[in-house]
Amino acid sequence: MLSRNAQGLYWMSRYLERTELLCRLLRLQTESLVDRPVRDIHAGWRRLYMSLHRLPPGGGLDIGIGESDEYTLADSYTLAGDLTFDRVNPDSVWNCFAQGRENARQMRHRISSEMWQRLNLVYLRIRSLDIQDIWVSSPEAFYAEMGADIGAFSGAAETTMYRDEGWSFLQIGRFIERAQFSAELIVQQIAIDVEAGEYREGDWLDLLRVSNALEQYNLRYGISVYPGDVMDLLVTDPMLPSSLSRSFRAIESELDSVGAGPGADSFGAARRMAGRLSALVQYEWPDNLDREDLLNRALEQSRELHSLINSAYFDYPVAGAS
């Protein structure tokens, strides 16, 4: 498979996965404006920006602390606009989706017509929208619809895409993005709790909701939400689609399916790193009391895994090139 095709499918998948995750977070955040305390709303925005390693408009992450409900609503409008439609912000929903669609456009010969049609219909619907267009009615409905659109795209890929190496790179991109984003959210929530000197059940409940894990949590642990139990589920459960364990195992499996690329040494290192990440959450997690340190290690190693995949398949040295 040509390296540019593999790279295009990999990044298409990463950008669209990020789009869906952002929409889930923003849906929860805008829903919280109705009945959540101001403190919870501020904490949600901080967690989102900290996870993206970005500062909000105006700088500083003490967003709206001490302000009234009216100021909180105005701040939320500005922040939602920045994270949804801002063409300058590379982490906005618009830019992530546009980048994913552009990669799909370049890969039209490698994806099914159904996949392309779904993305293009979404693009035509949202290309001229701005935050005021969705804010006056129901911003949470917009995010829900966008998330459903990405889910429909994934469903089209599942049912129509040929299971060759292209499919494997699609999966590798999806699961690396999912693992990194999920680990980052947990790490930043821990940081917020440490700073506050306490945890709030609603914050961890949000992490379960954005991971589509609340029902499984209730079945296993009951209705009381404790950070340790939430982390155990989101990190180690191999049956949960959004867990780190499942993501790392899926990457291992897809790397085995693809096999060694032109950068054979990097492939071997990438395969070992994927196995190391799986072992980290499966064997080290239960006995490691410093969960934040382990999650930061997982983040660092997953970034290294991305670099190794890039060297193995996308940007490898060419023999004889000067």
Domain locations in the chain as residue ranges: 1-161, 163-316
d(Cα 97, Cα 16) in Å, to the nearest integer? 6
d(Cα 86, Cα 224) in Å, to the nearest integer? 38
Helices and strands counted in the chain (H then E): 14, 0
pLDDT at residue 318 tops 90? no
d(Cα 189, Cα 35) in Å, to the nearest integer? 21
State residue 36's pLDDT score. Answer: 84
d(Cα 92, Cα 190) in Å, to the nearest integer? 24
Q: Of 80, 105, 103, 83, nearest to 94 (Cα)? A: 83
pLDDT at residue 321 tops 50? no
- Whether the predicted model's global pTM rises above the 0.85 cut: yes
d(Cα 104, Cα 122) in Å, to the nearest integer? 13
Residues 6+ apart with CB under 8 A from 102: none
pLDDT in tens, 171-196: 999 999 999 999 999 999 999 999 98
Three-class secondary structure of residue 41 per DSSP: helix
d(Cα 202, Cα 147) in Å, to the nearest integer? 22
Helices 264-279 and 291-309, axial angle in degrees (round to 10): 160
